[in-house]
Structure 1
Amino acid sequence: MAAEGEMEVLVEGRVELADGVVGLTLRAVDGGELPAWRPGAHVDVVLGDGLVRQYSLCGDPGDLRTWRLGVLKEGLGSTVVHERVRPGDKLVVRGPRNNFALEDASGYLFLAGGIGITPILPMVAAADAAGVEWRLVYGGRRRSAMAFLDVLSAYGDKVEIRPRDEFGLLDLDAALAAAAPGTLVYCCGPEPMLAAAEERCAVLAPGSLRTERFTPKPVTGPSEAFEVELALSGRTLTVESGLSILETVEKAGVNVLSSCREGTCGTCETPVLEGDPDHRDSVLTEAERADGSFMMICVSRARGSRLVLEL
């Protein structure tokens, strides 16, 4: 049964997209329209027993009656999807939510690794439809494990398919060297690939690189206690060392919508009214971090002794 902020959807279809990757087609239970979304969006899939996983929407944003997901069998949540979810089943979902939105640019370089192709696929379609210059470099372990190769073949030489067993690791230096000034780089894939892209893009203009992570970015930092004032309820709580803000407000009986609890999904984004957040998420851009207007309270902390949050 769906709770507040959630909805039930019907699994209309299931298909094998590649080795270890299944595609799900979802529809509204009542046959009506689903919430609109834009390229880069994901939904939270509630799998029971506290298990919630985020999957990118990889279909056509113009189709308001169908959502499509691609799920790699990797980890507990995706194993549940692969082994238990079948056509005719109902799933509880939250969203869509978009932390990886396609922004206007004179050109795009898309870098995808493995299942990271899922949010990139509708971006490619949108860029191509808009007549903007773009290129995709797509890597994976081997061709048989790379989803959507049939769809991407329609774009000809704008797409470079680079399975690791044939070409080795993606040559990010060559891909970036060929990008024209003003190109926005969108990258999604495993953490080593994202870290390498961030290192190489550090010399580009600020904001040139956009990334999305399926697992949290490694972070370190102090974990001293601090106070958080909840402006809407007038309460002040102490966030002890070893506890997150989210855990602290939940213990105090404050209901906050959350999902991944590791700084990757953006569900617990909370406005900051006063104080300096210590951002430890994998969602916000450097500009958003510098602005300090929002924070992910599941992982981020305070740089000082006090924060005032819109809770």
Structure 2
Amino acid sequence: MVAKVFIDGEAGTTGLQIRERLAGRRDIELLSIPTERRKDIAARAELLNAADVAILCLPDDAAKESVSLITNNTTKVIDASTAHRVAEGWAYGFAEMTRDQAGIIADAKRVCNPGCWPQGPIAMLRPLVEAGLLPADFPITVNGVTGYSGGGRAMIEDYVGKGEDAPEFMPYGLTLKHKHLPEMQKYAELSRVPLFMPAVGNFSQGMLVAVPLQLGILGSVPKATQLHAAIADYYAGLEGSFVEVAPLADLERTGELDPESYNNTNRMRLHVFANDDKAQAILVAVYDNLGKGASGAAVQNLNLMLGVDAATSLAA
């Protein structure tokens, strides 16, 4: 059976990446709206209701509008916007988040694709909270850098246009109201909002996210081996997983912490670095903001919803 898939917002960065990953698939028929009718509500409604799966690559308000245009009980939805990330009735599309999350996604009619920034912290912190090594109210700080493609077409054009004059490193979200904070807190199972400082680097795609931990404030301080084992065991043997855990190593530096390491793949690699004497640790996640952080995750979720191998048309 050939599934009909409509990418609403296919001309944007995420939409183009998804379409590229799905090109040539014989099990999928891509529905497309003519350029001149992309703002025609009737035309969008027709394709949304004709699709087996609609993938929304739109601003939040437009994504909500698209959902409202679906009048049947058959069209499944993957929303890549932030509109439904913490909404009731929507499955969170981070397939490796729990042992049964892939099954939840496979059975869902409404799936919210994760934000690029939250996935790394969730992947590293949730295992530690569930293992009881970190309390839910632990004060969490998240730092990171992403390629400028994460800012969409406007930022891409700005960086490319400036060339060598583009900033090498530009922190943002300085009002501490980043739109990804609600999902980061909810799915990492934290009871307090993390302190989050993202930054854009002068490279196109890829990202690195770091969570420093001052473990000395805990009554019972976990060792490096305990932190690493909890995270490694959490993902061990997880079928169809794209998340891997690097071996625990005492390193001053490593080339593996290159934010561009896994560009054009759906991989995410987690690292634990710690100093037991100082009761400090740093958790690091490396992945592609356009891969596992966006379009790759959407295709992985689509595959689960269609009942095909989760890795179909995804590079590992």
With normalisation by structure 1, the TM-score equals 0.30
TM-score by length of 2: 0.30
Per residue, is there more helix in 1 or in 2? Answer: 2
Name the structure, 1 or 2, with higher relative contact order (CA <8 Å, separation 6+). Answer: 2
